Structure 1
Amino acid sequence: MWPWSHAAVGYLCYSLGTRLVGRYPTVGPTAAVLFGALLPDLVDKPLAWVFGLVPQGYAVAHSVLVAVPVGIGAVVLAHQRARRPLGITFAAGYWSHLLGDVVFGWLQANPHALGRVLWPTVTLPPYDRPVVARLGEYVSVFTGSQTTADAMTVILGASVVYITVGVWFVDGRPGLAPIRRTLERSYDESPEYDE
């Protein structure tokens, strides 16, 4: 899955979870779930793509052997600081990322779908083509030059993102107000220039 799909799945899990307990999404937990959902790629993709320390972008942070204790640790730490929702949403976002990679790999009939989350017990083979080519293949789906199966996986991923944006609007766009206030404050404090 691409990062935007992970963020979308993490937010959908959070939004659904809050509704199940009779609440609505708020700013802090929204940020925590998004950070958790993106963390594995923020760690492992640079290790593979930039530094070449691992053969694929599924390594340390994608491993259940790391994700489970980190998630539990985040929940315990947040609970001790009276911020339990932040720990829970971070863990939910983090774990949804791993689950998403396995399910998406399975949908693509990838033989290494489960291996993506079993580092270091499973080390995946190196990528068969550069990352730039993979992104190009993703974009080429929109030009109609890919197979039906490839197009369906891209359409599925894009659909999740579009649905999530709709859910985020229904939820009241948590996270947007603080950004808007910060931008307005910086605009109000900036000197005016007359020509």
Structure 2
Amino acid sequence: MWPWGHAAVGYLVCSLWLRSRDGHVPTAGVVLPLALGTQFPDLIDKPLSWTFGVLPSGRAGAHSLLVAVPLLAFLWWRLDGPTGRHAWAGFALGYLVHLVTDGVYSLVDGEFAELSYLLWPALSLPSYDESPSIVAHFLAADITPYLLTELLLFGAATLLWAVDGTPGLWAVGRWCKRRADGATRALSSR
């Protein structure tokens, strides 16, 4: 699945789950870690495989439940209090949604052996074409029904995010402004 597909499914699941559970919409404290979680396995595995050759595949390491479960347990232990637990919940949901959505096409196609990455290195990785780089991966994209579905999901998630009040947008804006103000002060003090 493409990055926007992971992000879209993650936000849709999060927002719809919170709405159905207690009638609330997601907050920045959940959405920002959710966004990171939906991309986390690819941010770790793709560079370690495609750029540095450390992992055998762009879907190894952080894509394995044998890594994800201990990592999420460690984060649960370290992130306590309401703020930490909300951040953990967002990240964990995004991370697990990523793992599931990477396997959804294999499930649809009945290619269950393609899900072996979920238990790597206990199971051998499936063989599939690897990209030589992130840029090459994007340039090789074809317009397929799967890609179009992901774009529609992204549109739906963006619409729901807007209806929810764009949680996280202002927090990112404030963070960027603080960084810009700090850089301006540093330059003017020279």
Could you tell me which residue of structure 1 aligns to residue 78 of structure 2?
77
Counterpart in the other structure of 1:94: 95
Mapped pair 1:158 → 2:151? yes
SS in 1 for 2:79: helix
The alignment partner of 2:50 has SS state of helix
Q: Does residue 166 of structure 2 align to residue 135 of structure 1?
A: no
What's the RMSD between the two structures over aligned residues? Answer: 2.6
1:97-152 Cα offsets, whole Å, 9 max, x none, are 111111133235545431121110123255436356653342x42xxxxxxxxx21
Q: Distance in 2 between matches of 1:82 and 1:153?
A: 36
Counterpart CA distance in 2 for 1:125 and 1:115 is 6
Q: How far is 1:81 from its partner?
A: 6.9
> What is residue 34 of structure 2 aligned with on the other side?
33
Maintained 8 Å contact 1:72/1:91: no
Secondary structure of the 1:83 match is helix
Deviates more, 1:125-134 or 1:83-92: 125-134
Within-5 A mapping of 1:115-126: 115-124=116-125
TM-score (ref. length: structure 1): 0.79
Q: Which gives a bigger RCO, structure 1 or 2 (Cα 8 Å, sep 6+)?
A: 2
Partner of 1:147: none
What letter matches 1:66 in structure 2? V
The 8 Å contact of residues 58 and 130 in structure 2, kept in 1 or not, is answered as no
Aligned length: 181
Pair 1:19–1:60, CA change in 2 (3 A): same
Q: Is the aligned partner of 1:5 residue 2:8?
A: no
Paired residues for 1:8-23 under 5 Å: 8-20=8-20, 21-23=22-24
Shift of 1:51: 1.1
The 3-state SS of whatever aligns with 1:113 is: helix
Q: Structure 1 counterpart of 2:99, which letter?
A: L
Residue identity opposite 1:71 in structure 2: L
Contact residue 63 and residue 118 of structure 2 kept, 8 A: yes
Identical aligned pairs, as a percentage?
Answer: 38
